[in-house]
Chains A and B, each alone.
Chain A
Amino acid sequence: MTATTPTNTSAAAARPAARKPVRLRSRAPHSVSSPRRSTLLTVLSGIVLLYALVPLFWLFVNATKTQSSLFSSFGLWFSGDFALFDNIARTLAYDDGIFGRWFANTVLYVVLGAGGATFLAVLGGYALAKFDFPGKRGVFATVIGAVAVPGTALAVPTFLMFSQMGLTNTPWAVIIPSLISPFGLYLMWVFAAEAIPTELLEAARVDGSSEFRTFFQVSLPLLAPGIVTVLLFTMVATWNNYFLPLIMLKDPSWYPLTLGLNAWNAQAATAGGEAIFDLVITGSLLTILPLIVAFLFLQRYWQSGLAAGSVKE
């Protein structure tokens, strides 16, 4: 195998692969004969698997313990009492059920924030992929450049700006900043470039369709897997949003779950405050469940979305 082969073949591979419609490739074996299943490899990968799962297991196990057994039992195995449902009930009921309110807030932020971010990213990525417009290079350079600036540089100025506009301590202060997803923009750019044949657009234009109509009727359906991918990743980002809401929100009834859990954890550190570590742990478990479920159910889509998005290099 010559040294030049890889570059040639990869470049050659890029073009024909791009031509094919985006769909999940059925996995043919790498070699003509199917490879041997390797136990060694499985075991080694299993170590990484354990590494990934042990903390989650820890979380689950400790969510079943009462506060006193939290402190006295071994971290990785159950204690005598199985208090999971009890803990869940108390988590949901504590402080007049504020956990439920936090959950609703998070859903609101995710639906509006991630939904909005996906919408903006789809439009923007489509433009970058399919149109040549003045300032196009500048757009992308600016977006990346701005993202390299640390969030702390933006936090206080954004806060001051938003409070001038009367937006602080409202859901908008959380939603508006989460509408920008540079990763989503990039992904949609790459995906749109790959998934929408320009001939189709040309045909539609020739037919007299406006650009926006073309977008909605022709392009959007083709972008579906990419849209789902971006949606999922922005959902994760907004669900886990912590720093900016921390500064923007002062009213606990608008907290997302991340802020709420942090507040509960900090509660133990106040004179007269009640230590509720068991609720923090149970609450954490409840917080990560919806995302995990979402990922499990939608994995088909984001697999293909990421796959197609990685074609271009």
Chain B
Amino acid sequence: MTTTSPPVAVPPPVDALSSRPVRRRRRSWIGWGFVGPFMAVFALVFLAPIAYSIYLSLFRTQMVGGTQFVGFDNYARAFGDPQFWSGVSRVGLFLLVQVPIMLGIALLVALAIDSGRLYGKNFFRISIFLPYAVPAVVATLMWGFMYGTRFGLVGNINDALGTSIPNPLSPDWVLLAIGNIVTWEFVGYNMLIFYSALRVIPTSLYEAAELDGASQWQVVRAIKIPAIRGSLVIATIFSIIGSFQLFNEPSILQSLAPNAITTYFTPNLYAYSLSFSGQQYNYSATVAIIMGVLTMIVAYVVQLRGMRKEA
């Protein structure tokens, strides 16, 4: 999961700052002077490789036979590739389960901390955020150690309490196990986004609600959640994109669960294996481009729905 979250295209209503007409901004090129450096590096590290990737996806290189132009053959192959689609449906499932759970917990904790009814809320805020500071490699290694059913923590618990927690790294449970790691890593981060949004709700609203005789729950439902809708949409989109791009955690766990985590476990992992185990760079580029387009479509749809509800 990437930690650079792509923001939702909810354009900040720059006009909302004032009710004055647009004439105060000059439509000139000076803006490029400021955004230029960013765009220059961006072109180098994103646009150029994407263009090259698209180029690669139109060819085919063989160990025996060299490189040929094959047009959209690779794309046709991808659409009929059961391994690719199993990966896509897996991240789709992951997304439908993990994202709501993680965001739900994050929202609840943010509301709890914001409600002022917790003892030691600062401690909560910092501590729950800490896992975000842990690199995915370390988090996965840690959880990998803990998931061990013979000598790891799961095994210890089984021995101590006589339970028989199933092996988290078995094919039936491994997706859940990965979902757990991802949730652990990002629940604090999302919690903080929500909490920060909650903090800027003006107290006048609460005072008005109090006067109206509203209960805490009504306040939550009618004031707080609508007020942070923007953050909810952002966090959702970020999480969706992260889910589609799931790679780090399965990749690191693969050596511990080689039969549960196949080389096509997620589309990103599939593209990686194609490139680095099979030298099939062209097909790998194709898979990645298709995933990118799919992700963009889903993110855009979510953003549209999120924005429409606002209006």
Q: Which residues of A contact B (CB under 8 A)?
A: 1, 5-7, 9-10, 13-18, 25, 27-32, 34-39, 41-42, 44-45, 48-49, 51-53, 55-56, 58-59, 62, 71, 74-76, 119-121, 123-124, 126-136, 139-158, 160-161, 176-177, 179-187, 189-190, 193-194, 197-198, 202, 211-212, 215, 233-234, 236-237, 239-240, 242-243, 257-258, 261-262, 265, 269, 280-281, 284, 287-288, 291-292, 295-296, 299, 303, 306-313
Contact = CB atoms under 8 A, between A and B. Distances in A.
Contact of A132 (B10, B27, B275, B289): B27
Contacts of A295: 126, 129-130, 133
B116 A240 contact: no
Contacts of A187: 7
B75 to A, nearest CB: 14
A148 B6 contact: yes
Contacts of A127: 31-35
Contacts of A52: 127-128, 130-131, 184, 187-188
Contacts of B187: 48, 52
Interface in B188-234: 188, 192-193, 196-197, 199-210, 212, 214, 216, 218-219, 222-223, 226-231
Nearest to A247: B276
Contact of A147 (B6, B28, B160): B6
A124 B39 contact: yes
Contacts, number: 383
A236 B124 contact: no
A133 B45 contact: no
Given A133-B31, A306-B196, A17 B48 contact: no
B4 A182 contact: yes
Interface in B66-111: 105, 109
Nearest to B297: A148
Given A149-B50, A287-B138, A181 B12 contact: no
Interface of B: 2-14, 16-18, 22, 24-35, 37-39, 41-42, 44-50, 52-53, 56, 105, 109, 112-113, 115-120, 124, 126-139, 141-143, 145-146, 151-153, 156, 160, 184, 187-188, 192-193, 196-197, 199-210, 212, 214, 216, 218-219, 222-223, 226-231, 241, 244-245, 247-248, 252, 255, 267-268, 271-272, 275, 281, 284-285, 288-289, 291-292, 295-296, 299, 310
B119 A55 contact: no
Nearest to B44: A176
Nearest to A33: B210
A129 B144 CA distance: 44
A141 B9 CA distance: 7
B275 A25 contact: no
B45 A309 contact: no
A175 B76 CA distance: 37
25 contacts: A9-B223, A10-B223, A14-B16, A17-B200, A31-B206, A45-B109, A52-B130, A62-B145, A74-B160, A128-B31, A132-B22, A133-B30, A140-B11, A143-B42, A144-B6, A148-B292, A150-B244, A154-B288, A179-B41, A189-B12, A194-B12, A198-B24, A202-B24, A287-B138, A312-B13
Nearest to B152: A75
A15 B141 contact: no
A288 B7 CA distance: 26
Contacts of A242: 135-137, 248
B247 A307 contact: no
Q: Nearest 5 CB-CB pairs, A to B? A: A313-B230, A153-B288, A186-B7, A133-B31, A131-B31
